[in-house]
């Protein structure tokens, strides 16, 4: 029983309570405590990651109830990587929010932020399907609050769609969990995998249906075709740090597919083995094509970034759908890259929107923005990384995914989808960059925005917090320089993901703490 | 008893789906509530239907019903209530900010006409600020 197995979940909850209590002490205190808490969380999660790479999966039994009867938290290499990734992204988003004063636009930003981290870390570390549902609800409720933070018509409309859709998703989740419990009689993931292996032929249909219903639920979270339409609206209309943090939210869906479906329908499952794989692969390919077209058709930068992020998610789905250890390693490599760069992309889009005054980030001719060289420079780096051009890590990730797909039967379609969509994304981002930075109006000329003439560009641009963008973008360079090292790490994670026996053994053989007062109780 | 409960769940789910697909926020809230009820009853029945058998172990009883679904339902009910309350507040906020209770906000020509007659103060001040 190690501290590392529950501290990543417990710490944000405690910080949220402290931040809430600090309200009476003033906003500055709330802000300082919250930022410090995220920083400490990064350290805690980095430590957990090291533990996860040293030891086999570690299990924490809540309330000393052993699996499969109690709820367990599982720290393995995959969950440790995901929590560390979350906290790194959160640190950058928080720094940007503090420097740009976004957190002052409404109340309780920091409390919601910490609760969001609590929900995310919990969802990554839980070993129980119903507990996954509970953590999903925690992170969703916090995300509703963050999405609507600051208010405004468009935010409210996007938020209403987002909330209603996710409530339908939650209902489907419960239906699937109920059906699985009705047949398997357990909700512990490792125990469910054991039960699926010994399933009678009559019950296989129900378990398959429930499993695919779960895929639908995770598809909503991961924005998989045809369930992606909420994403561009929601991400384009919320504030930049929140959108950046939401880059990890879609990855929760991917993670859940890897974890739940990978374990439930693993090699041991007989006829049910890998039944979700063709769905994930083909829906991923369709999503990728539609995301690339959506990026071309976008009318403003933030919407385009949302579609570019959607493209990266669908590349991940394709990687999962190829279904091999090599592909899983490539997918995880691309996941680390795309999460952090997508976060940077949303922050850049917000700064560009501020710099263009009334024209905002719409793709129309406007006056040159202040700090155009700096903004254009980081936009170019981010666009190269996001579209997957060499020499940055997006190229590396896509190359790894494609090389892992070489032996796959549908290699042609995977190759065609990834390469054509990459080309379309490059065209879309190049068009955006040239429109925003090169195609500028002369100083004396006016342009019209919503029927009103605008003759002046903003004099200055508040670039405070740009360091968090640069920090996130530097990951694209670090991932390339130590690509071999990182690929070895993701390979190790992939090996552990596919090693079902080890996971089941660790979870089901966890020992409880001996009670020293046992005699007294009896 | 089984067929009665299954029919009840089916009707509630169907009604919930139909209401959720409506374009106004109030039917959507009602639909999601019905769906939540349906799923709660569904979860409850997944422990198999028994009547008159306790879920808590004691010395007298020899037969027990499965207590786990009851614990699950309890959690699910609490979460569903919380979420529904949030959705109602959000729907009210959307009604006041978007001008009507359509889930997409203002989009009918008639709504826009009626809005012109009763312009909210915030929009009026904005348009005035643009002119001067």
Closest-CA residue to A196 (of A258, A247, A256, A272): A272
Q: Please tell me if residue A452 touches chain B, with a CB cutoff of 8 Å.
A: yes
Residues of chain A contacting B10 with CB distance shorter than 8 Å = none
Whether A513 is covered by a domain: the verdict is no
Spatial contact of A309 and A343, defined as CB atoms under 8 Å apart:
no
pLDDT greater than 50 at residue B55: yes
The residue behind tokens 């994670």 is A493
Residues of chain A contacting B97 with CB distance shorter than 8 Å = 151-153, 156
The residue behind tokens 């760069």 is A341
Neighbour tally for A448: CB within 10 Å: 11
Q: Collect all residues with Cβ–Cβ distance below 8 Å to A477 and sequence separation of at least 6.
A: A392, A393
Model confidence at B126, pLDDT cuts 50, 70, 90, reads: very low
pLDDT greater than 50 at residue A487: yes
pLDDT greater than 60 at residue B5: yes
Angle at A411 between CA A406 and CA A417, to 5 degrees: 120
Provide the sign of the torsion angle of the four alpha carbons B98, B99, B101, B102, taken in this order: negative
pLDDT greater than 70 at residue A517: no
Return the structure tokens found at B27.
Answer: 């039917």
Return the structure tokens found at A477.
Answer: 């360079």
Give one DSSP letter per residue of A22-55, joined into a string.
Answer: GGGG-HHHHHHHHHHHHHHHHHHHHHHHHHHHHS
Higher pLDDT, A483 or A454: A483
Average pLDDT over chain A, rounded to an integer: 89
pLDDT at A514: 67
pLDDT at A515: 63
pLDDT digits (tens, 9 = 90+) for A178-206: 999 999 988 999 999 888 888 888 888 99
Average pLDDT over chain B, rounded to an integer: 81
> Contact A175/B39, CB-based, under 8 Å?
yes
**Mean pLDDT value across residues A422-438:** 92
pLDDT greater than 60 at residue B128: no
pLDDT at A96: 93
pLDDT at A68: 82
Model confidence at A486, pLDDT cuts 50, 70, 90, reads: very high
pLDDT at A469: 92
Q: Please tell me if residue B74 touches chain A, with a CB cutoff of 8 Å.
A: no
Model confidence at A522, pLDDT cuts 50, 70, 90, reads: very low
Spatial contact of A322 and A408, defined as CB atoms under 8 Å apart:
yes
pLDDT digits (tens, 9 = 90+) for A146-186: 998 887 888 888 888 899 999 999 999 999 999 999 999 88
**Mean pLDDT value across residues A368-376:** 86
> Contact B76/A452, CB-based, under 8 Å?
no
DSSP state of A71: -
Q: How many CA atoms lie within 13 A of A271 on its CB side?
A: 11
Q: How many domains in chain A?
A: 1
Q: Please tell me if residue B28 touches chain A, with a CB cutoff of 8 Å.
A: yes
> Contact A160/B94, CB-based, under 8 Å?
yes
Residues of chain A contacting B39 with CB distance shorter than 8 Å = 171, 174-175, 178
pLDDT at A14: 95
pLDDT greater than 70 at residue B116: no
Residues of chain A contacting B93 with CB distance shorter than 8 Å = 156
Which of 158-177 (A) contact B at CB < 8 A? 159-161, 163-164, 167-168, 170-171, 174-175, 177
Residues of chain B contacting A177 with CB distance shorter than 8 Å = 43, 72
**Mean pLDDT value across residues B74-103:** 89
pLDDT at B88: 92
pLDDT greater than 60 at residue B114: no
pLDDT at A1: 60
The residue behind tokens 């991961």 is A222
pLDDT greater than 90 at residue A15: yes
Closest-CA residue to B67 (of B44, B84, B89): B44
Q: Which of A190-194, A506-510, B93-97 has the lowest mean pLDDT?
A: A506-510
**Mean pLDDT value across residues B84-98:** 89
Whether A35 is covered by a domain: the verdict is no
Whether A320 is covered by a domain: the verdict is yes
Rounded to whole angstroms, the Cα distance separating A426 from B33 reads: 45
Model confidence at B121, pLDDT cuts 50, 70, 90, reads: very low
Higher pLDDT, B109 or A495: A495
pLDDT greater than 50 at residue B49: yes
pLDDT digits (tens, 9 = 90+) for A323-337: 899 999 999 999 999
Closest-CA residue to A134 (of A125, B13, A460): A125
Residues of chain B contacting A452 with CB distance shorter than 8 Å = 130
> Contact B82/A177, CB-based, under 8 Å?
no
**Mean pLDDT value across residues A36-48:** 94
| Helix axes A393-404 and A483-498, enclosed angle (nearest 10) | 40
At A67, is the secondary structure helix, strand, or coil?
A: coil
B1-51+65-112: CATH number: 1.10.287.3510
> Contact A167/B32, CB-based, under 8 Å?
yes
Residues of chain B contacting A161 with CB distance shorter than 8 Å = 103
Whether A325 is covered by a domain: the verdict is yes
**Mean pLDDT value across residues A52-57:** 90
> Which chain B residue's Cα is nearest to A168?
B32
**Mean pLDDT value across residues A506-516:** 73
User: Which of A178, A188, A191 to mutate to probe the B interface, most B CBs <10 Å?
Assistant: A178
Model confidence at A431, pLDDT cuts 50, 70, 90, reads: very high
Instruction: Write the residue in A153, A159, A168 that is nearest to B90 by C-beta.
Output: A159
At A480, is the secondary structure helix, strand, or coil?
A: helix
pLDDT greater than 50 at residue B124: no
**Mean pLDDT value across residues A112-116:** 95
Q: Collect all residues with Cβ–Cβ distance below 8 Å to A58 and sequence separation of at least 6.
A: A2, A4, A5, A51, A52, A74, A75, A76, A506
pLDDT at A224: 87
**Mean pLDDT value across residues A288-313:** 92
Model confidence at A32, pLDDT cuts 50, 70, 90, reads: very high
Q: Please tell me if residue B37 touches chain A, with a CB cutoff of 8 Å.
A: no
- State which residues form the domain around A296: 285-481
pLDDT at A518: 56
pLDDT digits (tens, 9 = 90+) for A266-297: 888 888 888 899 999 999 999 999 999 999 99
Closest-CA residue to A73 (of A127, A24, A2, A34): A127
The residue behind tokens 């205190």 is A29
Which of 354-413 (A) contact B at CB < 8 A? none
Distance from CA of B27 to the nearest CA of A (A): 12
**Mean pLDDT value across residues B44-48:** 87
Which of 139-158 (A) contact B at CB < 8 A? 141, 144, 148, 151-153, 156-157
At A213, is the secondary structure helix, strand, or coil?
A: helix
Rounded to whole angstroms, the Cα distance separating A327 from A333 reads: 10
Model confidence at A45, pLDDT cuts 50, 70, 90, reads: very high
Closest-CA residue to A342 (of A427, A486, A253, A240): A240
Give one DSSP letter per residue of A51-119, joined into a string.
Answer: HHHHSSPEEEEGGGPPTTTS-EEEE-HHHHHHHHHHHHHHHHHHHHHHHTTGGGSSS-HHHHHHHHHHH
Neighbour tally for A358: CB within 10 Å: 18
């Amino acid at each position: 029983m190690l501290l590392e197995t529950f501290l990543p979940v417990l710490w944000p909850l405690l910080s949220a309570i402290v931040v809430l209590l600090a309200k009476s002490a003033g906003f500055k205190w709330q802000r300082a405590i919250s930022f410090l808490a995220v920083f400490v969380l990064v350290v805690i999660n980095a430590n957990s990651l090291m533990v996860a790479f040293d030891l086999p999966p570690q299990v924490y039994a809540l309330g000393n109830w052993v699996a499969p009867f109690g709820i367990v938290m599982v720290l393995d290499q995959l969950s440790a990587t995901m929590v560390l990734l979350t906290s790194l992204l959160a640190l950058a988003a928080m720094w940007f929010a503090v420097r740009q004063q976004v957190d002052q636009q409404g109340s309780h930003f920091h409390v919601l932020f910490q609760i969001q981290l609590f929900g995310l870390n919990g969802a990554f570390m839980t070993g129980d399907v119903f507990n996954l549902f509970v953590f999903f609800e925690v992170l969703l409720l916090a995300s509703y609050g963050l999405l609507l933070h600051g208010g405004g018509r468009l935010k409210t409309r996007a938020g209403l769609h987002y909330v209603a859709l996710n409530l339908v998703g939650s209902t489907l989740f419960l239906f699937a969990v109920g059906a699985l419990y009705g047949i398997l009689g357990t909700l512990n993931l490792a125990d469910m995998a054991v039960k699926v292996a010994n399933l009678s032929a009559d019950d296989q249909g129900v378990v398959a249906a429930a499993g695919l219903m779960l895929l639908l639920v995770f598809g909503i979270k991961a924005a998989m075709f045809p369930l992606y339409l909420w994403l561009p609206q929601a991400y384009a209309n919320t504030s930049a740090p929140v959108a950046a943090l939401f880059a990890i939210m879609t990855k929760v869906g991917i993670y859940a597919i890897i974890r739940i479906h990978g374990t439930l329908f693993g090699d041991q499952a007989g006829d049910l083995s890998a039944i979700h794989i063709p769905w994930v692969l083909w829906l991923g390919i369709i999503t990728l094509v539609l995301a690339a077209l959506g990026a071309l058709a976008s009318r403003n930068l933030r919407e385009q970034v949302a579609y570019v992020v959607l493209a990266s998610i669908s590349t991940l789905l394709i990687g999962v759908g190829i279904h091999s250890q090599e592909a899983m390693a490539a997918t995880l490599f691309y996941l680390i890259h795309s999460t952090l760069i997508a976060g940077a992309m949303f922050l850049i889009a917000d700064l560009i929107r501020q710099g263009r005054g009334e024209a905002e980030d719409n793709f129309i001719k406007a006056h040159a923005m202040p700090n155009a060289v700096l903004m254009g420079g980081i936009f170019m780096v981010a666009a190269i990384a996001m579209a997957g051009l060499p020499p940055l890590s997006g190229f590396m990730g896509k190359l790894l995914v494609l090389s892992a797909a070489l032996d796959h039967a549908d290699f042609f379609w995977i190759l065609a989808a990834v390469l054509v969509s990459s080309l379309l994304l490059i065209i879309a981002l190049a068009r955006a960059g040239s429109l925003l930075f090169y195609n500028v109006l002369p100083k004396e000329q006016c342009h019209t925005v919503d029927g009103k003439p605008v003759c002046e560009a903003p004099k200055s641009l508040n670039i405070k917090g740009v360091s968090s963008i640069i920090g996130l973008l530097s990951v694209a360079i670090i991932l390339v320089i130590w690509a071999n090292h990182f690929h070895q790490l993701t390979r190790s994670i992939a090996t552990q993901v596919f090693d079902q026996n080890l996971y089941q053994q660790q979870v089901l053989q966890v020992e409880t703490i001996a009670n020293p007062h046992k005699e007294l109780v009896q | 008893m089984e067929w009665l409960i299954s029919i009840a769940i089916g009707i509630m789910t169907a009604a919930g789906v139909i209401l959720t697909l409506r374009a106004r926020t109030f039917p959507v809230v009602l639909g999601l509530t019905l769906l939540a009820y349906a799923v709660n009853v569904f979860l409850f029945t997944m422990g198999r239907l028994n009547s008159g058998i306790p879920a808590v172990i004691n010395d007298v009883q020899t037969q027990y019903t499965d207590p786990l679904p009851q614990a699950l339902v309890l959690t699910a009910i609490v979460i569903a209530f919380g979420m529904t309350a949030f959705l109602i507040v959000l729907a009210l906020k959307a009604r006041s900010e978007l001008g009507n209770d359509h889930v997409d906000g203002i989009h009918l020509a008639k709504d826009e006409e009626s809005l012109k007659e009763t312009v909210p103060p915030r929009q009026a001040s904005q348009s005035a600020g643009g002119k001067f």
